[in-house]
């Protein structure tokens, strides 16, 4: 019996090993499922920064980001924000509705950090009166350059109406996330989100929301608990992610 089980496990393992992803990004892979409208999104342990100039593997990063993204998507859905979440999957795989990802990344900033400080010379930690919304062109080749609504329209990435919708939805997501994280003693500094088009044409939140894509500081101490620990060589990268998950699960 045990041997039979082992053989079966082996077989399942081999099958999943040889499955070719439909798409492989820096932090995730997407696989087809039996349902043409549903994909399996696998969270990888690999981490990259500065457009993959810096790379590392962190054990459990996939698990942690999968768990954090799931909690956040479930909470957003409860608040009426539509996402591509389709099912919980397993430890490192999330089931998602198939979308065509818009090549416009939307960044929302509440506090100055990262490339904003580099570009403007404004000191890190400076709080904005109102959130800043930025668009960037999703292109690894070009390093995700900053664009605006006019670029998006002329490049055929999104219409004017779609850009307005992306901005409006990103600000709603920001409000919901600020409150959600605040309950766990976390300050949402900024984040990047992506949107996708369902086969019905509806635009929904897609990709992931995790410490890879959000800057999160401890509300009291200002300690960084996100990917900046990797970008800035602060150490304890997964300890930061684990702490985010622990707090979100407890709240
Ligand atoms: P930035 O300050 O480097 O422009 O980053 C803004 C936010 O977007 C930050 O929370 C990290 C996130 N981000 C991504 O998720 N992917 C990226 O490729 C980049 C550059 C930033």
- 170 in the same domain as 87: no
Residues 219, 114 within the same domain: yes
Could you tell which of 69, 213, 232, 240 is best to mutate to test the pocket of ligand 1, judged by most ligand atoms within 8 Å of the CB? 213
What percentage of the chain carries pLDDT values higher than 70?
A: 93
Half-sphere exposure of 221 (CA within 13 A, CB side): 4
Instruction: Examine the domain organization and report whether 44 and 114 are in the same domain.
Output: no
**120 shares a domain with 228:** yes
Shared-domain flag, residues 107 and 231: yes
CATH of the domain at 184: 3.30.470.20
- pLDDT bin (cut points 50, 70, 90) of residue 251 is confident
Range of the domain at 113: 101-236
- The Å distance, Cα 214 to ligand 1 centre, comes to 7
249, part of any domain: no
- Res. 126: pLDDT tops 70: yes
The reported pLDDT for the residue numbered 17 is: 55
Per DSSP, the three-state class of 200 is coil
Give the model's pLDDT for residue 16.
53
Q: What percent of the chain has pLDDT over 90?
A: 91
Looking at ligand 1, which atom is closest to the CA of residue 227? 11
Q: What's the pLDDT score for residue 22?
A: 97
Angle at 128 between CA 241 and CA 150, to 5 degrees: 95
Integer Cα distance of 47 and 228 in angstroms: 11
Distance 17 CA to ligand 1 centre (A): 31
Q: At which residue do the structure tokens 């998006």 appear?
A: 152
What beta strand segments (E) does the chain contain?
Answer: 23-24, 28-32, 38-43, 46-49, 54-57, 85-87, 93-97, 100-101, 104-111, 127-137, 146-147, 186-197, 203-206, 214-218
Q: Is residue 167 part of a domain?
A: yes
Strands 186-197 and 100-101: antiparallel
At residue 196, the 3 state secondary structure works out as strand
Residue 4 has pLDDT above 60, yes or no: no
114 Cα nearest atom in ligand 1? 2
> What pLDDT does residue 131 have?
98
Cβ proximity of 187 and 217 under 8 Å = yes
Same domain? 120 vs 62 = no
In tens, the pLDDT along 85-120 reads: 999 999 999 999 999 999 999 999 999 999 999 999
Residue 241: count of CB within 10 angstroms of its CB: 27
- Which residue has the CA at smallest separation from atom 4 of ligand 1? 115
144-160 pLDDT, tens digit per residue, is 999 999 999 999 999 99
Residues near ligand 1 with C-beta < 6 Å? 107, 113-116, 144, 190-192, 213-215
Tell me: the pLDDT tens digits for 6-43?
A: 455 555 555 555 689 999 999 999 999 999 999 999 99
> Of the residues 192, 194, 195, 211, which should be mutated to test ligand 1's pocket, given the most ligand atoms within 8 Å of the CB?
192
Q: 33-77, pLDDT tens digit by residue?
A: 999 999 999 999 999 999 899 999 999 999 999 999 999 999 999
Helices (H) and strands (E) in the chain, counts: 7, 14
pLDDT tier at 2, thresholds 50, 70, 90: very low
Q: For residues 93 and 108, give the distance between their C-alpha atoms in angstroms, rounded to a whole number.
A: 27
113 CA distance to ligand 1 centroid (A)?
Answer: 10
Query: What Rg, from alpha-carbon coordinates, does the chain have?
Result: 19
State the Cα–Cα distance between residues 68 and 73, nearest whole angstrom: 9
Q: Which residues neighbour 16 within 8 Å (Cβ) at sequence distance 6 or greater?
A: none
Res. 1: pLDDT tops 80 = no
Choosing from 190, 194, 240, 244 the residue with most ligand 1 atoms within 8 A of its CB, the one to mutate for a pocket test is 190
What was the pLDDT predicted at 69? 98
Looking at the fold, whether 122 and 85 belong to one and the same domain comes out as no
In angstroms, what is the span from residue 10 Cα to ligand 1's centroid? 39
With 0-12 / 13-18 / 19 or more C-beta atoms within 10 angstroms meaning exposed / middle / buried, residue 165 is middle
Please state, rounded to an integer, the average pLDDT across all residues of the chain: 94
Compute the 3-state secondary structure of the chain and give helix, strand, coil in percent, each to the nearest 5: 35, 30, 35
Q: Do residues 82 and 129 share a domain?
A: no
Domain boundary residue, one of 98, 125, 158: 98
Ligand 1, residue 226: give the atom nearest the CA. 10
CATH number at residue 12: 3.30.200.20
Model pTM score: 0.93
């Amino acid at each position: 019996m045990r041997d039979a089980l082992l053989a079966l496990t082996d077989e399942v393992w081999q099958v999943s090993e040889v499955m070719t992803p439909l798409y492989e990004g820096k932090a995730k892979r997407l696989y087809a499922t039996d349902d043409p409208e549903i994909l399996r999104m696998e969270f990888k342990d690999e981490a990259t920064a500065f457009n993959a100039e810096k790379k590392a593997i962190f054990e459990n990063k996939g698990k942690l980001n999968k768990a954090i993204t799931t909690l956040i998507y479930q909470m957003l859905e409860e608040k009426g924000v539509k996402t591509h979440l389709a099912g919980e999957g397993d430890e490192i795989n999330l089931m998602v509705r198939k979308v065509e990802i818009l090549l416009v990344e939307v960044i929302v900033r509440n506090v100055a950090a990262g490339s904003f400080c580099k570009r403007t010379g404004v000191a890190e930690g400076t709080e904005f009166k109102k959130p800043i919304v930025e668009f960037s062109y999703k292109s690894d080749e070009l390093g995700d350059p900053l664009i605006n609504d006019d670029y998006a329209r002329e490049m055929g990435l999104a219409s004017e109406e779609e850009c307005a919708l992306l901005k409006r939805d990103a600000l709603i997501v920001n409000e919901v996330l600020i409150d959600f994280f605040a309950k766990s003693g976390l300050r949402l500094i900024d984040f990047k989100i992506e949107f996708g088009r369902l086969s019905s044409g509806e635009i929904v939140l897609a990709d992931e929301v995790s410490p890879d894509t959000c800057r999160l500081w401890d509300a009291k101490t200002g300690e960084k608990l996100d990917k900046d620990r990797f970008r800035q060589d602060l150490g304890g990268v997964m300890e930061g992610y684990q702490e985010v998950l622990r707090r979100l699960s407890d709240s």
